[in-house]
Structure 1
């Protein structure tokens, strides 16, 4: 018997049962977060981390859907992004001193969150969030029962050159100018979204428009290019993941949902990672999906969400 379709939520409103707050890192830095309570009985708990330049409002539909399926759900903005402030010289350029700062934040948040929530405990992330999650897994800094990654940034789309060479170019750019300056052009007009940006993210015009609506309603969420420092540190961090034996030592079940049509992150890197991870699995989309698979048209998004649900039911069944 078919399950009744879940009612669609208002993607431009914080759900009534969700609560926004902040979490304080060990060094006192405040990260914005949102929480949905667990069902009765709870299915388990999911901690979701968004991508570079992202904010959790973009994923309200997915987070609320998981909650209605019985999961206790938490999402947070990364240090220096969205509602968690900035680390560069202006309000829109995304900068970080080193990706290890994000790994440290995730490690501390994971410890606090896991102690306060019912299991099984799932780490889920999109794009750059997936990169940081993988760094934490390689460092054995977190111990989830399973991991779900959407279009993970395990490599960046760009020239097919060795990582050490790409990092060397970015390091040179950091030496000849401020590392906090933008690494690419956002728009001719400050604060204006590039005209073809949607073509990189989603075929769904309404879901793409939701992001622009939230940016207008909450201007603090707006972020543009990454800094040259971010680029250089991203290549350095990717070399950690590419190191021999790094992913092979991660024994957690990991599902990656990726698209060969991705123009922002490297799909081949996700394919390689799935082969290297002892319990890695990969769901592949093609031209029907852009980078933001969980914000794609219903036919694509529903397929991705169903694959995630099947994976979690199989590798992280509810505890009795």
Structure 2
């Protein structure tokens, strides 16, 4: 194993993986990496997407930790190391996206009170959707937020009828059942999972390595209820009058060639935000911008660093 892979395939020295209890008693797996300096730069709460695990982002977290940031993350309920909410194997299930927001509200309050400022929240994909929803609903008010390939619309095979079809198909029988059988990020596709996520085979293999080391953290397809609730949450956020009133500075990174989420929906919502900088990537980037090949990843991290320097200044 190369030294680079060793860095990406090990929990860093000084970091802690622990269990956090949500208000309803659900146990969620969390990651805490305190700044290794007497004068911390600030604190970052980084939230991944559907089916994600925080191990996938250790390489990127290490970049900010080296700058003096305290890094924190947790696996969303029903996925990763936070257990399952349905007996259907590795199915990623949720009854209501409001459950995610309730977890985020409680975790954020504890995190903000116990870590040094300025406070920055970052979210990738579903995490980006939930972070933005939390900001708009007033659940969290960090100094700045970064949304990476946020899930604000789907690339649905049914086009504008996607939500309606999900309700028709998903409400036949048990909606907690897996929405599809294949181990891919979406159904009805000839694209490989690898090509949907990144152009970097080594970074893709990092996730596979973690899955082989810890099979219990693997999350497969979502449940039909997750799909239905995702459509509903995205629609309600898209139509919210509070989008234009939300004042937290936002940096949004969008992959226009994203095969999983609808980049056009993200761009439209980004244009409604009061204080947002939007950075777009072309065909050089798939969905996982921060796990892309170096030219894309380096540009993305550079944009984030500049944004943090300007909008989350050290206290």
TM-score bucket of the superposed structures, by smaller chain: over 0.9
- Confirm whether residue 258 of structure 1 aligns to residue 254 of structure 2: yes
* Residue matched to 1:3: none
Q: CA deviation at 1:9?
A: 6.2
Q: Is 1:292 the equivalent of 2:285?
A: no
What is the aligned partner in structure 1 of residue 31 from structure 2? 34
* Shift in Å, 1:239: 1.5
Question: Structure 1 pair 228/308, CA: closer, same or farther in 2 (3 Å)?
Answer: same
Cα shift readout 1:255-307 (whole Å, capped 9, x = no counterpart): 11111110001100111122100011111111111100000111110110010
Residue among 97, 100, 103 paired with 2:101? 103
State the Cα distance separating 1:84 from its structure 2 match. Answer: 0.2
Which one of the candidate residues 49, 53, 56 is aligned to 2:54? 56
Corresponding position: 1:209 with 2:205: yes
Q: How far does the alpha carbon of each residue in 1:112-153 deviate from its partner, in whole angstroms, 9 at most, with x for none? A: 010000001010011001111111111101111100111000
- Partners of 1:95 and 1:130 in 2: CA distance: 18
1:1-320 matches, cutoff 5 A: 10-38=7-35, 39-159=37-157, 161-162=159-160, 165-187=161-183, 196-319=192-315
CA displacement at 1:174 relative to structure 2: 2.6
* 2:187 equivalent in structure 1: none
Q: 1:8 to 1:67 in 2, by over 3 A?
A: farther
- Give, in whole Å, the separation in 1 of the partners of 2:296 and 2:164: 38
Deviation at 1:195, TM superposition (A): 7.9
**What is the TM-score with the length of structure 1 in the denominator?**
0.92
State the 1:161 CA deviation: 3.8
Shift of residue 69 of structure 1? 0.8
1:260·1:285 contact (CA, 8 Å) conserved in 2? yes
CA-CA distance at 1:18 after TM superposition:
1.0
- TM-score w.r.t. the length of structure 2 is 0.93
Are the aligned partners of 1:9 and 1:61 in contact in 2 as well (CA < 8 Å)? no
CA distance in 2, matches of 1:175, 1:219: 30
In the TM superposition, what is the alpha-carbon distance from 1:170 to its structure 2 partner?
Answer: 1.5
Q: Give the drift of 1:175.
A: 2.3
Long gaps (5+) in structure 2: 185-189
| CA displacement at 1:220 relative to structure 2 | 1.1
Q: Runs of 5+ in structure 1 lacking a partner?
A: 1-6, 189-193
Distance in 2 (alpha carbons) for counterparts of 1:89 and 1:240: 29
CA distance in 1, matches of 2:5, 2:309: 23
Whether contact under 8 Å (1:273, 1:280) holds in the other structure is no
What is the SS of the residue equivalent to 1:32? strand
Q: Considering only aligned residues, what root-mean-square deviation do their CA atoms show, in Å?
A: 1.7
Give the Cα separation in 1 of the matches to 2:81 and 2:5: 26
